[in-house]
Structures are given as C-alpha cells and as structure tokens.
C-alpha cells in the first residue's frame, strides 16, 4: 500500500518525527539509532511532512485529502499550491472538504482558500460536490466495505451514526 511505500522511502529521522502523528505508522519499526523523541518543534514536523509529500509526488499519480480545509492556514495552502503544478513525478490531485452547515459560508471559505493558492486558482479544474450525511443503510454498507463484509451490532451502528452526524470521514476516523 502507499503508506508502506512512503514509509520505506522516508529517511529514518523523519519517520521518528512523524510516527506518533500518523495512525498507520504507529506500529512500524524504526531503524536502530533513530530514537523517538517525545516532542519535536514545528519546524522539524514541517520538514518531515515536506519530505513525505515530495516522496508522494515522486511516486506518481495520487490524491491528497485536505479535510476541514477551512482550518488550514495560508502558508500551508501556499505550500500545497507549490506542489500543484510540479513538473516532476506524477499528477497530484487535491480533494478538499469544508464541513459547514451553511452552504454559502462554505463556498465563501473555499473562495478565500483559493485566493491563497495562485497555481490552483489559475490552472485547476475545480468541481463542487454537495454530500449529504449518510443514512442507516449507507453506514451499514460502509462498515461492511471497511471490515470485509462484517457488520457492527445495531446499537453500535446507531451510536456511530449519531456521534458522527453521518459524515463518512468522521465514521472512518471513529472506526480507525
């Protein structure tokens, strides 16, 4: 899987920095000599994330999900923007979500985000999808897809739907 391929290519010092922050990597082993520290400063985390994104770009076509994009600061958006029209490697698609109940406010936020991303604004194909919350049957099917056909007890399904508001990303995060 992509996560494993990125982890294999990443320098051990960056693995140690990112390991506590990335769920799929929390059980992976780091080569001896690179001790995990409890806290790293923001510059070290940013450098590690940058190296990770460069590896993803070099690997070929792919997508990066920017969930709750309205919370991303302008410098981070400018960084993603710099990756948008890169010439080496594959094409990277950015999928962003804005989680707001007021659709017009969400659209305003998206326009504000795009103003920080010049390359994306100039040359991107932007598509808008309005996703409704999942219903009972949708949640049941999503759970089956994630767990190879297995299902949750009905009371757990109900609690999952109530606690996530039917948001598929929240459901996946909760199940993780």
pLDDT value for 137: 92
pLDDT value for 19: 78
* Stated pTM of the model: 0.57
**Burial of 80: CB neighbours in 10 Å, binned 0-12, 13-18, 19+:** buried
Residues of the chain below pLDDT 50: none
Residues 60, 103 contacting (CB under 8 angstroms): no
The token pair that represents 64 in the structure block: 């990066």
> What are the pLDDT digits (tens) for 145-161?
888 889 899 999 999 99
> What are the pLDDT digits (tens) for 37-58?
557 788 888 888 888 888 887 8
pLDDT value for 36: 53
pLDDT value for 7: 83
pLDDT value for 28: 63
pLDDT value for 38: 57
Q: Measure the CA–CA gap between 63 and 73, rounded to whole angstroms.
A: 20
């Amino acid at each position: 899987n992509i996560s494993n391929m990125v982890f294999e290519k990443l320098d051990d010092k960056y693995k140690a920095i990112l390991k506590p922050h990335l769920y799929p990597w929390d059980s992976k082993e780091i080569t001896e000599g690179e001790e995990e520290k409890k806290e790293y400063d923001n510059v070290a985390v940013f450098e590690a994330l940058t190296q990770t994104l460069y590896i993803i770009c070099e690997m070929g076509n792919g997508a990066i999900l920017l969930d709750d994009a309205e919370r991303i600061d302008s410098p981070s958006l400018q960084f993603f923007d710099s990756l948008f029209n890169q010439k080496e490697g594959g094409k990277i698609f950015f999928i962003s979500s804005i989680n707001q109940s007021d659709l017009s406010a969400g659209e305003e936020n998206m326009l504000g985000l795009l103003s920080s991303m010049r390359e994306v604004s100039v040359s991107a194909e932007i598509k808008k999808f309005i996703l409704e919350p999942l219903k009972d049957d949708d949640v049941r099917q999503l759970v089956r897809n994630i767990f190879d056909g297995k299902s949750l007890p009905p009371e757990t399904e109900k609690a999952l739907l109530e606690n996530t508001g039917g948001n598929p990303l929240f459901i996946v995060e909760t199940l993780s």
